[in-house]
Amino acid sequence: MTRVFVVWDDSHLWGLLVLRFLRALNVPHGILRALDIAEGALSGKSGQPGADAPALLIAPGGWARGRALRLGGAGLSAIREFVAGGGNYLGFCGGAGLALTSARPGESLGLCPWGRMGFAGRLQHFLSGDVRLGLAEASALIPPGPSELLAQVWWPAQFAPSANADDGVEVLARYADLGPDFWVADLALSRFPEETLSDWENLYGLQVRPDFLAGRPAVVSGRYGQGRYVLSYPHLETPDSPEANHWLTHILCELAAEDCPETATVPPWRVGADEVLWDDPALLAAKAALEKAITLGQDHLLLFWRNPWLLGWRRGVPGPGINSVYALICEALASRPTGAALDYWRGHAEEFSGLARIFCQGLSGLLLAERLDMTVRQTPGVDGADDVFAKNLREMRAALFGPPPAAGGVCGQLLGLLEELCAGLWKR
């Protein structure tokens, strides 16, 4: 019986990280849509996973509020009932935020009494890369071994502990220090001398180095009814991250009672390099057009490959949406088509192709406009240039990507189609 399920809606790139981790460990798993959950999948009413077999529900990263709205009242209640009845919940980043307590009804699960902390500085949300975590000394969820490990964060929020010291929340890991590859926005801190960073902070009043992270909770756990939750802002499922992957393997064994290896590392992932198992013309054409647009962005110093699976981008360029569309296209091409996927695609491939052409052409135009803006904004004597470009760029970004943090516009439409397609490819 499958005991591990992944909430797929609005996960995009971050859902792929979780699925690739589970595949690397050969752990039987399935995906659940918000509608499945609302209709009783977690209680066995729709045949999975079975009311008498408490399982593990994994919520990948993504926009927590958007996923809560997609789940709706029925879906949120179903997850709470699942955990209260003995099921377990594991959330990463946005999936962790979904499980916290919010003052706004209908926007969170409330499994954990803690909330989400706001950001005091404009750069504090743009943190990514390696961090060192100090682990708790005594917990069944902590593997034997070193008291510190290297993990990765990708633009995390922060926990806001409650005022009640006896609220039952156990801190499994705290931020201890920065790792060798840590970035603030598009600044790789290791490439700047310490004295330069200090000068910036003293001269401009910018908190460039995230000293505020030290000692703050990074991974927490607790009980909700008969079940447990583990919430992690670090992405322990990041590919080719041996220390973090080892800890996640241990957590998975504890929460899902699976026979997992003592240690496991997700292999490196070079997005787009997997073997093509479904040579669909619409997907292949979209992949080629998007690669051309990405190369254009690289040529003009707006995009770069941060690592083999993750795009980097200059501040202001909507890199996450580009990355997610490209990754989902590549993952669909690397999957063997099922009957359900083929049925869906026959009715939607033409729509997808039209949107992909609009998106790739519009993205190329946006990137070139961003590059021109970089020059014109710094050119004396160009009256009104700032206002004109700011307005035009806002309109172009909104049409293609919608307002942040959600993925909207044409990008959101493409992601919705790809999300449905991949659900048909992978759902069992």
For 298, which DSSP code? H
Q: What is the 3-state secondary structure (H, E, C) of 94-136?
A: HHHHHCCCCCCCCCCCCCCCCEEECCCCCCCCCEEEEEEEEEC
320: burial class by Cβ within 10 Å (0-12, 13-18, 19+)? buried
pLDDT at 180: 95
pLDDT at 262: 65
pLDDT at 47: 47
Alpha-carbon distance 271 to 47, whole Å? 34
**Which amino acid does the sequence have at 273?**
A
Per-residue pLDDT of the chain (428 residues; tens, 9 = 90+): 678 999 999 999 999 999 999 999 988 899 999 999 999 999 865 445 444 445 899 999 998 888 999 999 999 999 999 999 999 999 999 999 999 998 887 889 999 999 998 776 667 778 999 999 999 988 999 998 899 999 999 999 999 999 888 899 999 999 999 999 999 999 999 999 999 999 988 998 877 888 889 999 999 999 999 999 999 999 999 999 999 999 999 999 999 876 666 667 889 999 999 999 999 999 999 999 999 999 999 999 999 999 999 999 998 899 999 999 999 999 999 999 999 999 999 999 999 999 999 999 999 999 999 998 888 776 655 555 566 667 888 899 999 999 877 789 999 999 999 999 999 998 75
Is 127 in contact with 155 (CB distance < 8 Å)?
A: yes
Exposure string of 265-301, with b = 16+ CB inside 10 Å and e = fewer, is bbeebebbeeeeebebebbebbbebbeebbebbeeee
Residues in Cβ contact with 270 at an 8 Å cutoff, skipping those fewer than 6 apart: 308, 309
pLDDT at 114: 96
284-287, long-range: CB < 8 A, 24+ apart = 284/333, 285/353, 285/356, 286/329, 286/352, 286/353, 286/356, 286/360, 287/326, 287/329, 287/330, 287/333
Alpha-carbon distance 49 to 42, whole Å? 6
Residue for token pair 């206002």? 387
Alpha-carbon distance 178 to 180, whole Å? 7
Alpha-carbon distance 265 to 351, whole Å? 39
Alpha-carbon distance 210 to 202, whole Å? 15
pLDDT at 239: 96
Q: What is the pLDDT of residues 180-223, one digit of tens each?
A: 999 999 999 999 999 999 998 899 887 788 888 999 999 999 99
pLDDT at 407: 84
Q: Look up the pTM and report it.
A: 0.93
What SS3 state is found at 141? Answer: coil
Alpha-carbon distance 275 to 283, whole Å? 14
